[in-house]
Amino acid sequence: EMVDIDRTNSRGTLYKSFVEVVKKVQPKIFVAENVYGLLTMKNKPIQQIMKDFAEVGYDVEYQVIYCPEFGIPQTRKRVIIMGISQNRKVDIGHHWNMITKNKTNCCVGKYFEHLQEPHLTTDVSQMVYSKAKRLQKGQGQTEIDLSSFAPTMRAEHHGNIEFRRHSNSRINKTESNMIERRLTVREVALIQTFPPDFIFSKRKVMTAYKYIGNAVPPLLGYLIADKVAELCKCHFT
């Protein structure tokens, strides 16, 4: 079982509901993910969360995933909480929950190198991008550096998605003779590690920004699922 416990309110009712589900269903392993801020809050909710899951029969650990270290080209940090049932055949060792596969850095440019500009491509998702103007303040005002990582792709950005140059030049700088544009739907999807041939609805291509921003990066989802499969094989078969 996997859940996003990002929207816990002051009473923590959402995560407590998940604890109740885990208690009733008794999965071999559960996974929850949250923002990095969970670890820096004054009342240290992470400790209470782990305690509550432990009380229903689980060994619980968490890992901070910094996406650029796992081939996901955006500066996103997530807390991955993993619990494994104490009713297992094989004991666990230290760091049993740690995801280590695909430990590699990959810049935005590597994901974009096969793309054509919107006026040249036949890919509908690469043709379409927000026409929102650049502002002095607020989200989505950062020019993407192809040799580095992108900011976190957020659902609430909508049209105010980050910028990149409308130019084939490899020099990724803002210059007076270059036309800037918002990232296309395809570019945002690639930063989130959606497959390059993923098809978005033609009629809803602009709302795809929101869908993409709401998603757990598919590559991260795969790495988590791979770890869960490994744990099931090692401890329950």
Stretch 137-144: mean pLDDT? 68
With pLDDT > 70 as the criterion, what percentage of the chain qualifies? 80
Q: How many domains does the chain have?
A: 1
| Domain CATH for 231 | 3.40.50.150
Residue 29 lies in a domain: yes
Residue 164 lies in a domain: no
pTM of the model: 0.82
Write 156-160 long-range contacts (CB < 8 A, 24+): 156/213, 157/209, 157/213, 158/130, 158/209, 158/210, 159/130, 159/131, 159/132, 159/206, 159/209, 160/130, 160/132, 160/135
3-state secondary structure of 84: strand
Residue 117 lies in a domain: no
Evaluate if residue 8 carries a pLDDT over 50: no
Evaluate if residue 109 carries a pLDDT over 50: yes
Residue 25 lies in a domain: yes
Say which residue, 71 or 131, is predicted with more confidence: 71
The distance from CA 49 to its chain's CA centroid, rounded to whole angstroms, is 21
Evaluate if residue 85 carries a pLDDT over 90: yes
Residue 58 lies in a domain: yes
Residue 168 lies in a domain: no
Q: What is the pLDDT of residues 203-214, one digit of tens each?
A: 676 788 888 988
Token digits of residue 225: 């699922």
> Which amino acid is it at 99?
I
Residue 175 lies in a domain: no
Instruction: Quote the domain boundaries for residue 26.
Output: 2-105+218-235
